[in-house]
């Protein structure tokens, strides 16, 4: 059995949704110490080159091979950072890393491995719009690359039945654009046409765009793979600005549900 080299470590980090200002100091410190950065090419390119740093970019559908390569580098004594956008634990590389770790070489389990959180796209989008995720919500990846379309539709219907606000990742790919159109149909059937829906594209980048509309007015082409889609619960509300030129209305979901007690407390984060 090969033993891991001393001094190596592995960090799985989130680079946030786009702006350097949204990268946490903890992640910046790990990147400053790294000998190797591993990840999907566009995310690796967000890390500035410097002497002593090797950047390993790969295709978006090579998550397990990427994770295995990172584990081998760390086992050989390298200081490795695996990068994701947003938060690494939300539809990103942290789960892939642990899948590779569980199935891989036994000695990899002796490695110094840490997951460093980042600001997810759904939280950045929610902040831009107000507080649409201010009460109970769920998060669903609409891509059917790793799960069947029937399961996605079932989860959409159940989330709507439970009256969650919802956040959707990977809504509409060029290869299968019909998937998001079907998702909108399911949501209209379950929630009605007046339910609020928000499209936040390329949040925290120069290409950022925001749109607030209703399910009845929403169209599939309003989203692509760089868009985070939010759907309100039945209680999600709009607060118009004083004048239209000030921008979109604020959107928020109240902290209490209809029929709840009259107490003012809202939980641990109030």
pTM above 0.85, yes or no: yes
- And the tokens for 31? 């990147």
pLDDT in tens, the chain (270 residues): 345 667 899 999 999 999 999 999 999 999 999 999 999 999 999 999 999 999 999 988 899 999 999 999 999 999 999 999 999 999 999 999 999 999 999 999 999 999 999 999 999 999 999 999 999 999 999 999 889 999 999 999 999 999 999 999 999 987 788 899 999 999 999 999 999 999 999 999 999 999 999 999 999 999 999 999 999 999 999 999 988 778 899 999 999 887 655 444 545 555
d(CA 109, CA 66): 17
d(CA 90, CA 143): 14
Query: Which residue segments constitute the domains of the chain, with CATH numbers given?
Result: 9-119 (3.40.1010.10), 122-252 (3.30.950.10)
d(CA 39, CA 60): 8
What sign results for the dihedral spanned by CA atoms 243, 249, 252, 257? positive
- And the tokens for 193? 């046409």
């Amino acid at each position: 059995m090969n033993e891991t080299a001393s001094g190596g470590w592995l960090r799985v980090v989130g680079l946030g949704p786009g702006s350097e200002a949204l990268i946490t100091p903890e992640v910046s410190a790990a990147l400053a110490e790294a000998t190797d950065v591993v990840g999907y090419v566009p995310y690796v390119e967000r890390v500035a080159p410097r002497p002593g740093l090797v950047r390993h970019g790969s295709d978006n559908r090579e998550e397990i091979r990427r994770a295995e390569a990172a584990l081998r580098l760390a086992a050989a004594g390298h200081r490795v950072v695996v990068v994701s956008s947003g938060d690494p634990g939300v539809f990103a590389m942290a789960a892939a890393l642990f899948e590779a770790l569980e199935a891989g070489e036994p000695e990899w389990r002796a490695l110094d491995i840490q997951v460093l959180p980042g600001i997810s796209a759904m939280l950045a989008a929610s902040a831009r719009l107000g507080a649409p995720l201010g009460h109970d919500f769920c998060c669903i990846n609409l891509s059917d690359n790793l799960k069947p379309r029937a399961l996605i539709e079932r989860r959409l219907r159940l989330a709507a039945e439970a009256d969650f606000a919802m956040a959707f990742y990977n809504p509409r790919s060029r290869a299968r654009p019909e998937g998001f159109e079907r998702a909108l149909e399911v949501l209209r059937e379950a929630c009605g046409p007046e339910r609020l829906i928000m499209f936040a594209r390329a949040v925290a980048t120069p290409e950022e765009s925001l749109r607030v509309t209703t399910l009845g007015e929403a169209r599939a082409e309003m989203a692509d793979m760089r868009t985070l889609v939010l759907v309100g619960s039945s209680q999600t509300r709009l607060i118009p600005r004083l004048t239209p030129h000030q921008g979109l209305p604020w959107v928020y979901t109240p902290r209490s549900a209809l029929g709840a007690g009259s107490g003012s407390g809202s939980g641990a984060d109030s």
